[in-house]
Amino acid sequence: MIILGIETSCDETAVAIIENGRKILSNIVASSIELHQKTGGIIPEIAAREQLKYIVPAIKEALEKSRLKPKDLDALAVTSGPGLIGSLLIGVETAKTLAYLWKKPIVPINHLQAHLYANFIREHPVSSSPLCGIPTECQCPVFPAIGLVVSGGHTDLILMKNHSQIKWLGGTRDDAAGECFDKCARLLNLGYPGGPAIAATAAKYIVHKTENKVKLPRPMINDDNFDFSFSGLKTALLSRIKELENKKVKINTYEIAYEIQEAVTDVLVKKVLKAVSQNQVNSLLLAGGVTANPRLKEKMKEALEKQQIKIPLFIPEPKFCTDNATFVASCAFFNFEPVPWQKIQADSSLEIEEVIKF
C-alpha cells in the first residue's frame, strides 16, 4: 500500500510517500525555522502563512521524487492534531481537497501517536542499528513496547500492546522537556531552537570545566508515577542566574547548559526505565525532537545495560525525530481507519489520551 502523508502541525510543511508503512519513496520538508529564529520562537500566523505558500509545491515535489502519479496512491494521511490550529488547517483542508479530487480514502492521524512510527520507517534498509546491532532489514519494534514521545510541546509515556491497543501512562503536568530547553536557552541567550543550542553548548563543558558546579533540581524524579514537570527547572535556573549575578560571579554558560541537559535527561531516563521495569515489554521506542539529543541517547543506552534490561532500544535518525510526514504515512498504514473527508476536522487540543484503545 502506498500512502501520501501530510504534516503541518507546527512550523514544518512536510509531505512524504511511504510504501507499506516502512519504505520511503519521497520525503519533503520545508521549514520556516529561520524566520522564527529572528523572534526567538514560533509565531503561529507566520508559520501558517509559510505553510500556505509551500504545501502545494511540497506535494508536487514528493510525487516527482517518487516518480508516482496521484492514480498510483492508495490513500492519503494527514495530521489532524494536536498543533497550531492555523497550521493544522493548511494540511487538513489540503488533504481533504485532494481526497475528494483524487477519489482516495483519507486517514486522520494523531501527531503524538504518529511520532512513535518514526521507529518503523527505514531510509537505508541494508544498514544496521548502532544501538542494538540488529540488521534494519528485519529490525522492527516488537510488541508490547514502551514509547516515550518527548518534544517541544509534549512529554508522554505510552504502553503499546499492539498497533491498535495503547495506554497512556503519564505525561508532563506543565512544560514539556523541549519547551524547558527553549526557555532555558532563552535565559542564557543561546538562541532558538533551544534543544540543539543547549546540547551544543553543553558539549563544550569538559573543555571549560571549573570548580563552581551549578546544581539544578530533577523535578518529580522520585515520584511514584509516570508524570513529568519541567517548569520548576526553568524557575530554578532563573533564580540561580540572579544569585550568581548578585554575587558578581561570572556565569559559565557551558557549565549551566551541561547541568540543564543532565537534569532533563536524568528525569526522562529514570521514568522510562521505571515504566520498562514495571511492564513486561519487548521494545523501547523513543520519539520526538528531544530524542535527537545525543546525551539522552547515551544515557538511555547506558541505563539499559547497567540494569541488564535486554530489549532493543529504537531511536530514529535525527531527521526523523523532528516533525516530518514519513511517520504520519507510516502510522496510517499500521492503523488504517479511513474517515469520510467531510468528517475530518483540525483539532489543536487533541491529546494522545484520545486515541487510547487499551
Residue 285 contacts by C-beta under 8 Å, 6 or more apart in sequence? 116, 119, 141, 145, 146, 147, 148, 160, 314
Do 324 and 309 belong together in one domain? Answer: no
Q: Judge whether 95 lies within some domain.
A: yes
Residues 49, 113 within the same domain: yes
Cell of 111: 501527531
Same domain? For 346 and 284 the reply is no
Number of domains in the chain: 2
- Determine the pLDDT at residue 127: 39
Within this chain, do residues 157 and 211 fall inside the same structural domain, yes or no?
yes
pTM above 0.85, yes or no: yes
> Alpha-carbon Rg of the chain, whole angstroms?
21
**Is the residue at 161 inside a domain?**
yes
Helix (H) or strand (E) holding 14: strand 12-19
- Please check whether residue 137 lies inside any domain of the structure: no
Residues of the chain falling short of pLDDT 50: 125-138, 358
- Domain span at residue 304 reads 145-316
Q: Is residue 344 part of a domain?
A: yes
**Cβ-contact 87, 59 below 8 angstroms:** no
305 lies in the same domain as 166 = yes
